[in-house]
Structure 1
């Protein structure tokens, strides 16, 4: 059964970019098209295909579908940064999709770094912080040649890695994990070098909470807000700090009943593989992913539909975790889109199901409807009791219908019995009326 809600109807189609496999996606503002066209031509002379909207969009093409598809399929995402492009909503959307797609991002600056950063929002600053920036500010002819050479070398490296390994998926996963570690390490070199920023998360816990194996969330929150007060204020501001803390609460799997954070869950959050990283670096990385996902799945995103179609079909831990973040967003439309996207990933672990069940209690009927269909889509037997309650009691007919569809999709003795009993009761009630 196709997953549908009032937010998104029907099958989401994909628009191909013809038979050409584009290795490079060029993201830019139209004011910089002349420079971008030169770069495209230089890359083409190296035997690689670079996609640029001004030259590669044909008549009748849905440009936003094409852009989303190219970003997901390309090997290198080049963000041509000028004072106009860093403020462009379209470029922000494209960068966010590239980031959550784990693309190899090459930031290319046409203006001085400080001038560009003054015009960036928090999300863009964080997403670009860990990548090497290339410049075309002083000597275009030589700098552009060096840049194009680097791009083509990286493409060739990725192609050779894919061909040389029998375990292609494991190799790609390893490369993506290594990119994440590289971003963290590069971020460290740009952060204030204090003891708190440099020490690993285990040492931070020990000097903050001693031998305690768990502390209350309130205690932990107050501690990090005190220790990293200037960082939270400078990097996120009051509003985004509150939003980020709610995400950390979920990511660290704080016990919901007693609101306790265990040292074990805290260290798991701060670790990548066997390496335990400094707490502030992991907070920054979490923020990067969450900003990017919020940008990609916002209702006014130019790549939202493409993100759902292309990212939703991958059961990526990063994508699933970031989508879970959006379930607590203040915008109910974003919540509904995140629910649909989670269903498309097919993720049915305990954490996903628990968070989707919470959405059944939303005051917004579209969120409740989407949550019903999502739980049915992933066959979450744990949700049968709540779905039965909605089917019988929700005041909105669309939600009741969605709950029934979910119960039929889940199946099993419990769901079938609930449907049978309620159906019999309804028949008896109708009989009494006649």
Structure 2
């Protein structure tokens, strides 16, 4: 558990493409564009499990920790009750992101703790295998959980401790699950890191949406299929297995490619009444989710295109029933809302980690931070994360360029540096003139250096011409000075 609201960086080994992003060297205590989590070195790397809990439950936590360690599962946990501030987020945020798996100890105290809620959300969007250990009955905990935690843990396997005398026996299935997950995670870690786009080729089309938490996604599909098989004799309600195309045809017709959003949202509202009920959302929360879904589906002039609807139902190139896509989208949306909240204790960790995901929701969140954030440290991390998230996708790059150009006029020099380097990574030709202006006129040498790096990265005739003219003028001015 923890109580903080800032983050501190640790170094990582950068690829050749990322080298320029680490150029700025800020004053002590400030974040740099090199703040990234994968590949970091430090006391968290290699830990199998990070435990999140309420300090009211520290005795039970210690017993669980001992049991895990006796099973050769390494554990990181805060046993000191870190106070709010930079040190807290450095410890907690990095431990969550750098550990292989995440275990949350659920009690009446922890499920109502803002810190534990934030930590669960960060673990979810960081693609961690999440394990829930409850020391109270399910029916006692869910009514007092906030919606975000309910949605996030809805596809997580829960383990229950009903008495400390039987704790070891009751945790045996948990230990087996963790060990099995760790074996797979450690074998495939390099493959997971290779998923990040590093190509300079730009696609005209938006990619299939990525799944923020693959472990929860796989379990959700398994649970759905198990429920369907067990209810094969009673399939009056087929909405849970209805494909995207079947839903569309049954409500709008096979030849219809465009439908008005109010008509679509009404069909979703009525068809999936049971889904909304199971998700425990209020009417206001449901309407908010529908509104956010309209943005995710790129609704224009109140009209939805079938192509965008199909994209919404496609995750990691697998087409899901609309009901599953809604559940997944709701969990991801509320996890993101949790960590992006201005009072979130893991906000900076979340922003940096989102660079691995390419979706409208991620781009929108990062752009919102660039345009409306007052904390320059957060703006710096958002700029660098946006450059990674938008790379390779032309439609994302155009939107990212608009936000990043705003950084070049920011009063904070680190924000200007990160904006330069991010635009360089995106090879933004439309930013050449502004970058040249900074290279020639900014009063801070590190900003001028970042602008020059970006111009060189972008390349092309315009960049070369601008660099050449500036160098010639500088040489002429130098000669005039000598003649005086």
Q: How far did residue 108 of structure 1 move?
A: 1.1
State how 1:3-402 maps to structure 2 within 5 Å: 9-10=31-32, 12=35, 18=43, 21-54=46-79, 62-136=87-161, 138-142=162-166, 144-161=167-184, 169=191, 177=214, 179-186=216-223, 189=227, 194-210=237-253, 211-228=255-272, 235-237=280-282, 240-241=285-286, 243-254=288-299, 256=300, 260-272=303-315, 275-309=318-352, 311=353, 315-317=356-358, 322-327=361-366, 332-333=372-373, 336=379, 338-345=382-389, 347-357=391-401, 359=403, 372-373=419-420, 375-381=422-428, 383-384=430-431, 388=434
Q: How far did residue 294 of structure 1 move?
A: 2.8
Partner of 2:329: helix, strand, or coil? helix
Counterpart contact for 2:390–2:400, Cα < 8 Å: no
Q: How far did residue 124 of structure 1 move?
A: 0.7
Counterpart contact for 1:96–1:292, Cα < 8 Å: yes
Partner of 1:118: helix, strand, or coil? helix
Counterpart contact for 1:247–1:325, Cα < 8 Å: no
Listed one character per residue, the Cα deviations across residues 117-158 of structure 1 (whole Å, up to 9, x for unaligned) are 12211111100011111111x33322x224432333234324
Change in Cα spacing, 1:270 to 1:45, as seen in structure 2 (3 Å) is same
Partner of 2:156: helix, strand, or coil? coil
Q: Which has the higher contact order (CA 8 A, sep 6+)?
A: 2
Counterpart contact for 1:33–1:54, Cα < 8 Å: yes
Q: How far did residue 20 of structure 1 move?
A: 7.6
In 2: Cα distance, 1:19 partner to 1:340 partner: 23
Change in Cα spacing, 1:90 to 1:373, as seen in structure 2 (3 Å) is farther
In 2: Cα distance, 1:391 partner to 1:238 partner: 51
Partner of 1:301: helix, strand, or coil? coil
Which ranges in structure 2 are unaligned for 5 or more consecutive residues?
Answer: 1-19, 196-210, 229-234, 473-484
Partner of 2:130: helix, strand, or coil? strand
In 1: Cα distance, 2:93 partner to 2:54 partner: 16
Q: How far did residue 416 of structure 1 move?
A: 5.6
TM-score normalised by the chain length of structure 1: 0.74
Change in Cα spacing, 1:373 to 1:288, as seen in structure 2 (3 Å) is farther
Mean Cα deviation higher: 292-301 or 276-285: 292-301
Change in Cα spacing, 1:326 to 1:316, as seen in structure 2 (3 Å) is closer
Counterpart contact for 1:65–1:303, Cα < 8 Å: no
Partner of 1:54: helix, strand, or coil? coil
Change in Cα spacing, 1:83 to 1:290, as seen in structure 2 (3 Å) is same
1:410 aligned to which of 450, 458, 462: 458
Counterpart contact for 2:21–2:384, Cα < 8 Å: no
Partner of 1:36: helix, strand, or coil? helix
Count of paired positions: 405
Q: How far did residue 28 of structure 1 move?
A: 0.2
Q: How far did residue 415 of structure 1 move?
A: 5.0
Mean Cα deviation higher: 116-125 or 353-362: 353-362
In 1: Cα distance, 2:181 partner to 2:192 partner: 13
Mean Cα deviation higher: 150-159 or 409-418: 409-418
Change in Cα spacing, 1:232 to 1:2, as seen in structure 2 (3 Å) is same
Partner of 1:196: helix, strand, or coil? coil
Q: How far did residue 54 of structure 1 move?
A: 0.6
Partner of 1:53: helix, strand, or coil? coil
TM-score normalised by the chain length of structure 2: 0.67
In 2: Cα distance, 1:413 partner to 1:259 partner: 42
Q: How far did residue 82 of structure 1 move?
A: 0.9
